[in-house]
Amino acid sequence: MAYEPKLLGILCHWCSYSASDAAGAARLSVPANLRTMRVMCTGRVDPTLVIQALQRGADGVLICGCHLGDCHYNSGNQRALGRFHLLSRLLADLGLEPDRVRLEWVSAGESERYAELAHHMTKRLRNLGPFQWPTLDTATTEVIRNG
Amino acid sequence: MGKLKIAVYWAASCGGCEISVLEIHHHITQLMDAADLVFCPCLVDTKYADVEAMDDDAIDLCLFNGAIRTEENVHLAELLRRTSKTLVAFGACASAGGIPGIANASTLEALMERVYLTTPSTDNPDGVMPQPSTDMGEGVRLTLPKLLPMVKALHHVVPVDYTVPGCPPEGKQVWRVIEAVVSGDLPPPGAVLGAGDRTVCDECRLEKRDTKITAFVRPHELIPDNTTCLLEQGMVCMGPATRSGCDARCPDVNMPCRGCYGPAGDGFNEDAGLKMIGVLGGLLEPGNEDALRSLMDEIADPVGTLYRFGLPGSMLGRAAQAPGNRDDAE
């Protein structure tokens, strides 16, 4: 079977989750590669969540929030932007592919843009191939932690 | 019962952990009353062959410091695991890779080239590189241990009973660990000894005032005001993501925490660097997209700043060891 990437979408409740809802209601095509997770705000997205997603089998993560200035909590998406930018720098420095993680602004009315992003990101991951997570060292760690 | 047998070994380390054993001050006499130092290349003239000749579990307590960088380190880790009843990963390097672990942000080839050929202070016109084996003539062959493709923590190569974090571990914590071992009052294996389970901020006297920042500064660029949280003055202080136990000694003298005690909480499942990105994101003065990005660009060397003491042991550090990203000679 051909490789199909797994994409995790982390969607802000106030904008992007509504956009994804509207995309469904409008019967827009959204690739089945995308699994979504709702959070109250992109400001809640701890970078640990993103890396954990990759660790547990996702090939990429798409974080969607309100446009700057539209955050329901005023500055949550600005925090997300700062974190995401530093995380990207870190991933690049470590030789990991920063393109696997993407932050986009999608308002409640932009359901078409949401569907487009999902297609675009899936295509990008298909080109990148599966994210490889090592088993070499983690296996030993697990044994000790459980023993 | 006779005297306890103690070993202190250094793998890829600087020797600071041996010094930290001396930081128990006058207790050293009590330690020497209770224990014999049977193996410690730093202080006692014992040979590897002496340890190889020991029975299994002959050593009561081994404080193993230093990261695993060479085949020799692996050999000694396996040897001391076999001969030690209690093997402790002592200090940041043995716990999580420490400063030598930052080498994992680079390939071994790039590292060798940088160190032996291209640093500004290198004078090596013939391009001489260290070789694992050199024939000196007259039947003499000199050898050096081979480097592993990646730096590892001790628990990556052998099972470890306890972890004592810190670079180096605090003297009073070292004594606490030794007391626990001598009295046999030990938690179940796998535990972190000689440290708290909260964060450095919990022990820090500086005050948070919920100020947002508009610039990051490095320690040489600012004299802090001595009462306010260093993060809120623009320094990257690892306190919020770092395990307590050191009495916040660095922030107490206005130096930002560098994270030597490793991640707080259930250490091995946390990633201090990623947590720290979360903290830094919450500090920024809101602004437009470009302003936020350029503010984050002011943080010099994200890997060296966020993972100064534990890249190989971190969640992200293990990702960087993915076979697709790194040459693995094994």
Q: What is the DSSP string of B146-207?
A: PEEEEEE-GGGTS--SEEE-SSSPPHHHHHHHHHHHHHT--PPTT-B-SS-SSBHHHH--PB
The torsion of the CA quartet B274, B278, B280, B281, rounded to 10 degrees, works out to 130
What class does CATH assign to B4-99+148-183?
A: alpha beta
The answer to whether the beta carbons of residues B275 and A83 sit under 8 Å apart is no
Q: Which of B152, B287, B303 is nearest residue A93 as measured by Cβ atoms?
A: B303
User: Looking at chain A from residue 3 to 42, which residues have their Cβ under 8 Å from any Cβ of chain B?
Assistant: none
Question: B290 — contact with chain A (CB < 8 Å)?
Answer: no
State which H helix or E strand residue A43 sits in. none
Query: Would the CB atoms of B190 and A94 count as touching at under 8 Å?
Result: no
Q: Is residue A94 part of a domain?
A: yes
What is the distance, to the nearest Å, from the Cα of residue A91 to the centroid of all Cα atoms in its chain? 14
Tell me the backbone φ, ψ of residue B236, rounded to 5 degrees: -85, 95
Look at residue A139 and tell me if it is in a domain. yes
Under the banding of pLDDT at 50, 70 and 90, the label for residue A109 is very high
Q: Please give the residue of chain A at the shortest CA–CA distance from B321.
A: A134
Dihedrals phi, psi of B225, to nearest 5 degrees: -80, 0
Shortest CB distance from A95 goes to which of B289, B318, B320? Answer: B320
Residue A2: inside a domain, yes or no?
A: no
Query: Which of B281, B203, B279, B191 lies closest to B241, judged by CA?
Result: B279
**Would you say the C-alpha torsion B58, B60, B63, B68 has a positive or negative sign?**
positive
Nearest to B321 among A86, A136, A144 (CB): A136
Give the model confidence (pLDDT) of A24-81 as tens digits. Answer: 999 999 999 999 999 999 999 999 999 989 888 899 999 999 999 999 999 999 999 9
Radius of gyration of chain A (CA): 16
Confidence band of A120 (pLDDT split at 50, 70, 90): very high
The whole-model pTM stands at 0.89
Provide the Cα torsion B130, B136, B141, B144; round to 10°. -20
Q: Return the SS3 of B156.
A: helix
The chain B residue lying nearest A132, using CA atoms, is: B322
**Cβ proximity of B65 and B167 under 8 Å:** no
Residue that has been written with the tokens 């306010």 in this structure: B228
Distance, CA of B41 to CA of B10 (rounded, Å) = 8
Q: Is the peptide bond before B188 cis (omega within 30 degrees of 0)?
A: no
Within 228-287 of B, beta carbons closer than 8 Å to A belong to 268, 270-271, 273-275, 277-278, 280-282, 284, 286-287
Q: How many domains does chain A have?
A: 1
pLDDT tens, residue order, chain B (330 aa):
578 999 999 999 999 999 999 899 999 999 989 899 999 998 889 999 999 999 999 999 999 999 999 999 999 999 999 999 999 999 999 999 999 999 888 878 888 899 999 999 999 999 999 888 899 999 999 999 999 888 999 998 999 999 999 999 999 999 999 999 888 889 999 899 999 989 999 999 999 999 999 999 999 999 999 999 999 999 999 999 999 999 999 999 999 999 999 998 765 557 899 999 999 999 999 989 999 999 999 998 999 999 999 998 888 876 655 444 433 333
Domain locations in chain B as residue ranges:
4-99+148-183, 200-299
- A19 found inside a domain: yes
Q: Smallest Cβ distance to A94: which of B156, B271, B316?
A: B316
A139 Cβ under 8 Å from any chain B Cβ: no
Name the residue in chain A with its Cα closest to that of B303: A90
- The whole-angstrom distance between B45's CA and the closest CA on chain A is 32
Is residue B126 packed enough to be buried (19+ CB in 10 Å), middle (13-18) or exposed (0-12)? exposed
Give the pLDDT score at A84. 97
Q: Which residues contact A140 (CB under 8 A, 6 or more apart)?
A: B155, B156, B157, B159
Q: Kindly list the residues from chain B whose CB atom is less than 8 angstroms away from the CB atom of residue A145.
A: 190, 268
| DSSP percent split of chain A into helix, strand, coil, nearest 5 | 50, 15, 35
Q: Complex ipTM, two decimals?
A: 0.89
Task: Give the pair of three-digit tokens for residue B251.
Answer: 């922030």
Which site among B296, B299, B301 would you substitute to test the A interface, given the most A Cβ atoms closer than 10 Å to its Cβ? B296
Q: Which domain holds residue A44?
A: 7-146
Chains A and B: how many Cβ contacts under 8 Å?
132
CATH number, domain with residue A27 = 3.40.50
Look at B293 and A81 and tell me if their CB atoms are within 8 Å: yes
Report yes or no: B322 at the A interface, CB cutoff 8 Å.
yes
Residue A48 with chain B: CB contacts under 8 Å: 270-271, 274-275, 278, 315
Q: Say if A1 falls within a structural domain.
A: no
CB contact under 8 A, A68 and B288: yes
